[in-house]
Chain A
């Protein structure tokens, strides 16, 4: 990567803050349109493949067979809440809470799970990629919740097409209005138990569908230097084949290829500088993460892609006479309306039969049951708003089933070499409504190691989500019962907002500057050369994984920004 050095200029056509899913896209699009672009990342540099230090490790190669030691956990009291982040194989992609603290109001919980390095969470993301539908874009207006989205599906559809072609999304077309089809690569296979479940759902529940997960993996051929998925399911460590989409494997190399990108890691952006004379932003201020030296970079346009929480933190900390409460915060909505996807309501069962069947490969994907509640007709209407989908999978038990047998000896041991019976499980992911009082505030009493304010969160689940969670368990169980699965169990595990790692909504888009921060082009209403295209911009959450939408919104906003720049409107 072309790194910033002593000879690099201090002034650029564009600045991108952040290198995750949306920052990578902003960098690629701006550079490909010919803009000299400075890309700032607060964490360390990461070189694709070379820095994936654990990518080929087997469990026995890793400390404690990849379980976290008590010593390791000490640094991650919040990151460990997921139950999977703190593992020797990928813990280096997550921040140490001891180095990057944040706070929570009493009786409130917010799980801010993140990593500071080039590529951000695009290295560890879940890769599930779904389009939004008009059902989602119209919901706020129809129900009088929050504010109306300033765009509809037709506005974003060409940009979904555009990003999908570059990313490579594998999936199966289903023709569902609530989950529009995309330009898919070959779908991954369902296994035989999942096929049975699909067929049962189709015949027993006419409004419900089971399909293979739509995922950002190359399943046929290659894209540039990216190869086909080998079903190792070690994606979170970084992929030696570049088979899944990340900034490191995909967008940053494309930006680099133009010769227009300068990348500066270790750059903590803490302020967008407002120029009162022009009514625009003149650039950004950073502190070098290591030396703490303050630097100021200038540019014609600025893209904030630091993540829903961090981009908003920068804006809240960008105070001026014009914006005493943070840049673009005349509405008072900046930092409010935090959403996520609530999950961890699960259904699972054992499955009889198929004992002569098995599968090959560790598929980095599962099945998906798209939303089937509140689709706009009487039949699907429930006593809560919006809906949810399930992600799940079936597999055969391994040797650990032996623990329940409380047996010992040679025959017992030899029997455990064989795969056990089949089990199936799924996890519901549901929409959280935008609530003004789910918010973040800057904490000036507890400063971070750069002397900058930390964040205190106040987020709680409300009645609509709790009612939905009950329905998630009931509907999950009834589908499994209908398929004839045995010992069906449901569980509502401990969920805190943020745990879905789909946090969004803190600088929402809207038509009215009095009630929203960004306009229909992701521009700050009052500061037209600042764009926010990460999760902060979201006006509602839908129930599908959001990254694909961030990518499409980013490409769309860059296209608009560059056209405006060329028209001298910025």
Chain B
């Protein structure tokens, strides 16, 4: 327990450093306090500790700018719902194995409990792996993971790489969940539930260059 306390103490300084945007050492980069789930929500499929980590990761993929970040759009709730309800049992298992592989990677790289890794450490690990996904690897993910819909085949074809699969599906779900959320759909994309007669060719300026939400 002393170790945990020590990390917390050290991390207070680290928080300041981060916010100042200064260069960080591995030592000072760990999380200042145990992360909590945005708005205290509880996951129903994911392990709660994993969900807290993934909540952070959604916000790393799509951080706040002038528009909300993924945390504020509650993208983690979408991810938990889709994995928990829509994915087939084998894909659920692979997803959880993928999370474990991702955490192991963080641990191996920074010698730190993954839950306590800083935002920058998580970003480094995730982005590096994401960019390592070649077309060939993505093809393999699509082949080996079972499509949740319409295909009757229930067997994997091809070697399954759970880390690749996790990184890719989670990335995809984060994008779908963010732009498909109520917050982004109704307040930041152009929301027109009842558009009226179809107009086939309008200047893009009419929507200020922004996509329709629906």
Contact = CB atoms under 8 A, between A and B. Distances in A.
Given A60-B185, A69-B85, A71-B85, A408 B62 contact: yes
A414 B204 CA distance: 17
Contact of B89 (A70, A402, A403): A70
A279 interface: no
A65 B66 contact: no
A333 interface: no
A64 B173 CA distance: 12
A228 B186 CA distance: 25
Interface string A48-73: 00000000101110011101111101
Contacts of A410: 63-65
A368 B200 CA distance: 15
B40 interface: no
Given A58-B214, A232-B194, A408 B123 contact: yes
Interface in A182-215: 188-192, 194-195
Given A80-B150, A192-B200, A409-B63, A403 B175 contact: yes
Given A68-B86, A410-B65, A417-B211, A357 B204 contact: yes
Contacts of B62: 408, 412-413
A229 interface: yes
Nearest to B213: A58
A187 to B, nearest CB: 10
Nearest to A414: B65
Contacts of B195: 230-232, 360-362
A192 to B, nearest CB: 4
Contacts of A82: 150
Interface in B177-214: 177-182, 185-186, 188-189, 192-207, 209-212, 214
Interface stretch (B25-33, B102-110, B124-132, B155-163): B124-132
A323 B67 CA distance: 72
23 contacts: A58-B186, A58-B193, A65-B78, A68-B86, A70-B86, A70-B89, A81-B150, A82-B150, A191-B201, A194-B200, A231-B196, A358-B202, A360-B198, A361-B195, A361-B197, A362-B214, A363-B200, A396-B211, A398-B211, A399-B178, A403-B172, A406-B171, A419-B211
Contacts of A381: none
A421 B143 CA distance: 27
Contact of A417 (B148, B189, B202): B189
Contacts of A68: 86, 148-149
A358 B207 contact: yes
Given A70-B85, A80-B150, A416-B179, A408 B61 contact: yes
Interface string B42-70: 00000000000000000011111111000
A6 interface: no
A190 B210 CA distance: 21
Contacts of B207: 358
A60 B87 CA distance: 18
Interface string A382-399: 000000000000001011
A417 B214 CA distance: 13
B130 A408 contact: yes
B65 A413 contact: yes
Contacts of A189: 198-201
A358 B175 contact: no
A358 B63 contact: no
A359 interface: yes
A470 interface: no
A231 B199 CA distance: 10
B209 A418 contact: yes
A58 B182 contact: yes
A400 interface: yes
B82 interface: yes
B201 A192 contact: yes
B130 to A, nearest CB: 5
Nearest to B82: A64
B152 to A, nearest CB: 8
Contacts of B85: 63-64, 69-71
Interface of B: 60-67, 78, 81-82, 85-89, 123, 126-127, 130-131, 133, 148-150, 152, 171-172, 175-182, 185-186, 188-189, 192-207, 209-212, 214
3 nearest A-B pairs in the assembled complex, by CB-CB distance: A189-B200, A361-B195, A361-B198
A355 B204 contact: yes
Nearest to B194: A230
Given A229-B197, A399-B211, A413-B67, 14 more contacts: A60-B182, A60-B185, A68-B86, A230-B196, A232-B195, A358-B203, A358-B207, A359-B199, A359-B202, A363-B200, A409-B63, A410-B65, A414-B66, A416-B179
Interface in A333-385: 355-363
Contacts of B150: 80-83
Question: Which has the most chain A C-beta neighbours within 10 Å: B60, B64, B87, B207?
Answer: B207
Contacts of A80: 149-150
B199 A361 contact: yes
B200 A190 contact: yes
A533 interface: no
Contact of A360 (B130, B186, B206): B206
B179 A60 contact: no
A449 B123 CA distance: 57
A400 B174 CA distance: 10
B88 A417 contact: no
A358 B201 CA distance: 6
B153 to A, nearest CB: 11
Question: Which has the most chain A C-beta neighbours within 10 Å: B188, B205, B212?
Answer: B212
A403 B150 CA distance: 22
A419 B205 CA distance: 12
A94 to B, nearest CB: 14
A219 interface: yes
Contacts of B193: 56, 58, 232
B143 to A, nearest CB: 16
A83 B152 CA distance: 11
B67 A67 contact: no
Given A358-B207, A417-B189, A417-B210, A408 B126 contact: yes
A356 B199 contact: no
A399 B189 CA distance: 11
Contacts of A413: 61-63, 65, 67, 178
A189 B200 CA distance: 5
A362 to B, nearest CB: 7
Contacts of A69: 85-86
A406 B210 contact: no
Nearest to A229: B197
Nearest to B62: A413
Given A67-B149, A358-B202, A406 B82 contact: no
Given A64-B86, A403-B175, A408 B60 contact: yes
Contact of B179 (A81, A219, A398, A406): A398
A64 B62 CA distance: 21
Nearest to A408: B61
A67 B204 contact: no
Contacts of B204: 355-358, 419
